[in-house]
A and B are shown apart, each in its own frame.
Chain A
Amino acid sequence: MKLSRNALYGSLLLLPAAVLLWTFTYQPILTTIINSLFSTPRGRRSAEFVGLDNYDVMINDPVFWKAMSNNAIYAVTTIPLSMALALGMALLVNSKLRGQSLVRMAFFTPTVLPMVAVANIWLFFYAPDYGLIDQFLRPFGLAGNNLLGTPDTALWALIVITVWKEAGFFMIFYLAALQQISPTLLEAARLEGASPMQILRRVTLPLLMPTTLFVSINAVIGAFRLVDHVISMTKGGPDNATTLLLFYIYQTGFSFWDTSYAAALTVVLLAILALIALFQFGYADKKVHYR
């Protein structure tokens, strides 16, 4: 009797969430995979089964590989940079310094701004000739930079913005973790005669390992999910120098209306996210638990 009561109440309570999750997460995952095996319906021509043709096109698509390598560079640079900065910020804010809450606020402020707004502010810095960076460099005879318009620098310009925006957000998690470290541990280390650097390396950092994992997983997901700045600053240009995977999906689906190719690209993105999830649950969880 008890079991059926639980099943009844439980399923009724879960119903709204289940319907919504099915409609906007699980069912689209399935249809994405299915649609990637069909051709895009055009006009009166309906979708036909084409097997792995879309994937064949993808392997021979230079823009796809460009998007993948851009996204890899973007992830490999923004993640360590913003995490290292975040840790430094958290350590600074956590030490008892004057104006601590103001400093913390300064670090966290970019986080509460929408990426679109941030992009518009930075556009002004990056603009050639009258942009702030160019004006600053002019006295040194280094003006005339079109940072966003040059393939070699455009992605780096976006990386800088991302690091500026994300570091303060990750700082919060480190700060929370730092405040949970018991003072007795630090006190004991100090009594043993450990220098501040030794304490950081041997006590603080190992205790922050779970946080580092959590933040890095979040950062990786973010690196594949956030393309607002690409849309509002560069549209993937110049010459696809700033095309990230999700932006390419957006472009393929909504500018070229090639929905089945977009589905194939989405499958790749889903595979990447699935790998991250497997890594998180399988490998990393066992590694960082020090208890």
Chain B
Amino acid sequence: MESRSKPIIALTTLGAWLLAIIWVLPLLYAIWTAFHPPAFATRFDLFAPWTLENFSRVLSVAPFPRYFLNTFLLVSLILVCQFVVCTMAAYAFVCFPFRGSEILFMLVLVQLMIMPEVLLVENYKTLANMGLLDTTLAMGLPYLASAFGIFLFRQNFKSVPKELEEAARLEGANPIQVLLRVFVPVAKPTYIAYGLVTVSYHWNNFLWPLVVTNSVDTRPITVGLQVFATVEQGVDWSLVTAATLLSVAPLLIAFLLFQRQFVQSFMRAGIR
């Protein structure tokens, strides 16, 4: 970029900053609304008093802490099970190929195209027949075997040198020990990257949880927010905005603190 003239660099910087400001403006305005009395929701005044009133009112009328707990349980369940299920499958594809396993892998990739929520009517029936409606398990089950996860871990396991695997086997390690001592440590950055992507996805997931939950005890934060906003809509903007910010706060703060890791994770997961 050295060959570029100063005015061009200045213009580029200005353009980038302008676009960036436009991009965060909606969120900044939401923050401003949430921290001021309702009277200022539609009237911007630099000297308006700051308040936490909206948040305390939200917490007093809706069980947001419970929703957070539900989301946390859901995301933990999905994360742990996906790691186990996808690791096992990827390990099988890389180290124990048998006739037909290539075709099986192709079949796995079908799920990249057809996500569980596309089949929501049938999947709802399946879970109703299992008697699992309105449970955390029901929200998580369709996502536990993730084609994306299997694909990503397989890519990564393929890069593990054969010698490492052989050496471990000569020392008398059984297949499970080889997996845990050789493959999993090598793939650690991929696990972190995949973990961040999947946590963001399921923290924000809405349609499927909306369909299978119908009580405060299981409802995740996204569905909880929707229920709250539907009741309050048009009544009190500062309240809805405060609830909205409250819902996004944990993930947003995590993102702001670890934004480098977030961006790199999404990059790593995106390169195929």
Contact = CB atoms under 8 A, between A and B. Distances in A.
Contact of A172 (B95, B110, B260, B270): B270
Given A3-B98, A225-B115, A112 B17 contact: no
A112 B252 contact: yes
A54 interface: no
Contact of A20 (B20, B27, B141): B141
Contact of A273 (B99, B114, B210, B229): B114
A32 B114 CA distance: 13
Interface in A89-132: 89, 92-93, 95-99, 101-110, 112-117, 120-125, 127, 130-132
B114 A25 contact: yes
Contacts of A266: 118-119, 121-122
Contacts of A253: 120-121, 124
Interface residues of B, number: 98
Interface residues on A, range: 35 or more
A182 to B, nearest CB: 16
Interface in A163-205: 164, 168-169, 172-173, 175-176, 180, 190, 196
B21 interface: yes
A121 B241 contact: yes
A52 B18 CA distance: 55
Contacts of B210: 231
B92 interface: yes
Interface string B31-67: 0010000000110000000000000000000000000
B117 A225 contact: yes
A46 B241 CA distance: 47
A127 to B, nearest CB: 7
Nearest to B21: A106
B139 to A, nearest CB: 12
A17 interface: yes
Interface string B225-269: 110011001100100110110011001100110011011001100
B225 A116 contact: yes
Interface stretch (B163-171, B184-192, B201-209): B201-209
A221 interface: yes
Interface string A10-31: 1101101110110111111101
B15 A24 contact: no
Contacts of A7: 96, 98-99
A92 B12 contact: yes
B114 A176 contact: no
A252 to B, nearest CB: 8
17 contacts: A3-B99, A11-B92, A21-B107, A25-B110, A25-B111, A95-B1, A98-B13, A102-B20, A104-B263, A108-B262, A109-B24, A109-B255, A112-B252, A114-B206, A124-B30, A164-B26, A176-B267
Interface of B: 1, 3-4, 9, 12-13, 15-17, 19-21, 23-24, 26-27, 29-30, 33, 41-42, 84-86, 88-89, 91-93, 95-99, 101, 104, 107-108, 110-111, 113-126, 141-142, 144-145, 147, 150, 175, 200, 203-207, 210-211, 221-223, 225-226, 229-230, 233-234, 237, 240-241, 243-244, 247-248, 251-252, 255-256, 259-260, 262-263, 266-267, 270-272
The 4 closest A-B pairs by CB, nearest first: A10-B96, A114-B204, A28-B122, A13-B92
